[in-house]
Amino acid sequence: MEYDVIVVGAGPAGSTTARECSLRGLSVLMLDREEFPRDKPCGGGVNVRTAQLLPFELGDVAERTIRELQVSVRAGYSYVRRSDEPLTYMTQRRRLDAYLAEQAIRSGVTFRERAALREVEMDRRGVTVRAGTEGFRARVLVGADGANGKTARLAGIPVERSLGIALEGNIELPPAREARWRERFAVDVGSSPGGYGWLFPKGDHVNIGVGGNWPVGPSLRSRLARLTHYYGFSPDELWGVNGHPLPVFRQGSAVEKENAVLVGDAAGFVDPLTGEGIYSAVKSGQIAARHLAAYVSGAQSDLSGYAHEIERDLVPDLLVSIQLHQIFHLAPPIAAQMVKRSSRTWRLVCALLTGRIGYAGVKERSTVLARAIDLASAAGRVRVRLSTEG
Ligand SMILES: Cc1cc2nc3c(=O)[nH]c(=O)nc-3n(C[C@H](O)[C@H](O)[C@H](O)COP(=O)(O)OP(=O)(O)OC[C@H]3O[C@@H](n4cnc5c(N)ncnc54)[C@H](O)[C@@H]3O)c2cc1C
């Protein structure tokens, strides 16, 4: 059978693209090398902005609803900020991804597990894919195979991205400590170059992690142990400790070629400031599905419209997020103080998490603010250059 679309990867980007293509009447095959439910190294935080993109409720996959943020500086001094509205839902990727894949299957997608992509042959009429021991054919190919995926390379799409890295693990949450983390998540700033540490509470355990610029990789284990200790748990009790790259988009990087597109982490769409990528995975999947449907039906002659819409609707936020990341890492303790002392700054954090404003919208608020962000981020870039050269 020849499909309209083959989607490689069944994370949030792949399941969303597959589901939305199928709902538009396309025949879709979704492949994943793993058997579901499977885990993926991730904090599993789905902020309200992301949840609002989905046309269905998260239901009990959202194990906690977060209204409080605890901020600590270099695993020392800390404070808590509370919001009246939900900010983020806490999920486990094992459950979230199985749920999203289930939604895709219900909409008519054929899902093949334990089918690792091995070869891609593109021709004018479509694409032939070898995965596992089988061959499949379709009009178009979607690379949704994450930060370590092969689709981009095999389809000849020249992706450029820089890499961060993060390590996370889980630890049981004793009932006596449950009240503290019922509605609260924590971030620790200033102790990991280019990143931060976190504690994300789930139903019966907490997820603790730390991420940063690529060179911090070898020190992440000891950083994770220190942070776990700081939050009052024993590092010896951590289970499921896993590391994974965080791919950050470079302006001008390709996201499509001929009859193939990339979505989510495969395209490098992680939010540079927070390391969150589920929002962009879902958003890029939705944009891709619209263009794939128009292409397959003959309403569009190529897939360049996907790149243009990504450039218009996603890239501006990613570029401002890069700038805010540069500013934040000039002096993380000062940023932490601003969130503590300024109600305006806290309201802005809440507005970003709930989607009332996007990063690009922060700069659009005033030309003075936009100029200040440009200047401060330039200072951040110079500082990074000096520290890497020195
Ligand atoms: C430690 C850590 C913590 C994070 N915490 C958060 C968070 O709290 N919130 C948030 O929003 N983001 C977070 N992120 C980022 C988030 O995990 C990713 O951005 C998100 O998973 C991207 O979704 P995706 O569908 O593009 O890729 P993935 O979720 O990586 O899915 C890719 C899929 O492709 C499959 N695959 C790979 N290779 C092949 C192949 N050759 N053949 C077939 N299938 C293949 C994989 O099995 C996988 O199922 C975190 C990242 C890390 C590393």
- Rounded to an integer, the average pLDDT of 60-77 is 98
Over residues 313-367, the pLDDT tens digits come to 999 999 999 999 999 999 999 999 999 999 999 999 999 999 999 999 999 988 8
* Interval between CA 125 and ligand 1 midpoint (Å): 30
282 lines ligand 1 (CB under 6 A): no
Mean pLDDT of 100-108: 98
Strands 184-189 and 239-249: unpaired
Report the chain's mean pLDDT, rounded to a whole number.
Answer: 95
Tell me the average pLDDT across 241-257.
Answer: 94
**How far, in Å, CA of 213 to CA of 276, rounded?**
15
Query: Is the CB of residue 271 less than 8 Å from the CB of residue 279?
Result: yes
Full DSSP string of 144-157: ---TT-SHHHHTT-
Question: Tell me, which fold does domain 61-90+163-246 have in CATH?
Answer: D-Amino Acid Oxidase; Chain A, domain 2 (3.30.9)
169 ligand 1 Cβ < 6 A: no
- What separation in Å is there between the alpha carbon of 11 and the centre of ligand 1? 6
Ligand 1 atom closest to the CA of 200, numbered from 1: 8
Interatomic CA distance for residues 96 and 118, integer angstroms: 26
- Paired sense of beta strands 205-213 and 161-172, if any: antiparallel
Q: What is the pLDDT of residue 252?
A: 87
pLDDT (0 to 100) of residue 368: 82
Gap from CA of 245 to ligand 1 centroid (Å): 9
For residue 378, the model assigns a pLDDT of 85
User: Is pLDDT of 111 > 70?
Assistant: yes
Cβ of residue 146 lying under 6 Å from some atom of ligand 1: yes
Ligand 1 centroid to Cα of residue 348, in Å, is: 27
pLDDT for 379: 82
Q: How far apart are CA 269 and CA 310, in angstroms?
A: 10
Distance (Å, rounded) from C-alpha 232 to C-alpha 240?
Answer: 18
> 299: buried, middle or exposed (CB in 10 Å: 19+, 13-18, 0-12)?
exposed
Pocket test for ligand 1, best of 15, 97, 159, 278 (most atoms within 8 A of CB): 278
365 CA → ligand 1 middle, Å: 33
The finding on whether 216 has its CB within 6 A of some atom of ligand 1 is: no
- 78 Cα: distance to centroid of ligand 1 (angstroms): 30
The reported pLDDT for the residue numbered 11 is 98
Closest ligand 1 atom, residue 14 Cα: 25
Q: Which residue from 48, 261, 276, 282 has its CB within 8 A of the most atoms of ligand 1, so it is best to mutate?
A: 276
pLDDT at 270: 97
Q: Please give the pLDDT value at position 118.
A: 97
337 C-alpha to ligand 1 centroid (Å): 32
Centre of ligand 1 to C-alpha 13, Å, is 8
Decide if pLDDT at 189 tops 70: yes
Residue closest via CA to ligand 1's atom 19 equals 277
Residue 270 Cα: closest atom of ligand 1: 19
Q: Where are the alpha helices (DSSP H) in the chain?
A: 12-23, 48-51, 93-106, 151-154, 220-230, 278-297, 304-313, 315-328, 332-341, 343-354, 359-364, 367-389
Half-sphere exposure of 146 (CA within 13 A, CB side): 19
Instruction: Tell me which residue has its CA closest to atom 18 in ligand 1.
Output: 277
> Taking 60 as the threshold, does the pLDDT of residue 205 lie above it?
yes
CB of 166 shorter than 6 A to ligand 1? yes
Homologous superfamily of 2-42+93-160+250-313:
FAD/NAD(P)-binding domain (3.50.50.60)
Q: Rounded CA gap, 31 and 375, in Å?
A: 45
* Domain boundaries defined on the chain: 2-42+93-160+250-313, 61-90+163-246, 331-389
Percentage of the residues of the chain whose pLDDT score is greater than 70: 98
How far apart are alpha carbons 347 and 83 in whole angstroms? 9
pLDDT at 132 over 70: yes
Quick one: pLDDT at residue 390? 53
44 CB within 6 A, ligand 1: yes
At 388 the pLDDT is: 61
Task: Give residue 266 CA to ligand 1 midpoint distance, Å.
Answer: 9
78-82 and 134-143 strand pairing: unpaired
Give the pLDDT mean for 281-307.
98
Please state whether the predicted TM-score (pTM) of the whole model is above 0.75. Answer: yes
Q: 353: which 2 tokens?
A: 């998490």
* Cα(11)–Cα(335) distance, integer angstroms: 33
pLDDT number for residue 381: 77
**CB hemisphere CA count around 94 (13 angstroms):** 7
pLDDT, tens digit (0-9, with 9 covering 90-100), for 331-345: 999 999 999 999 999
pLDDT at 39 over 70: yes
The residue-averaged pLDDT of 132-141 equals 96
- Which atom, in ligand 1's list, is nearest to the CA of 13? 25
pLDDT one-digit tens code per residue, 256-266: 999 999 999 99
Q: Which two tokens stand for residue 97?
A: 């991804």
State the distance from the centre of ligand 1 to the C-alpha of 375, rounded, in angstroms. 33
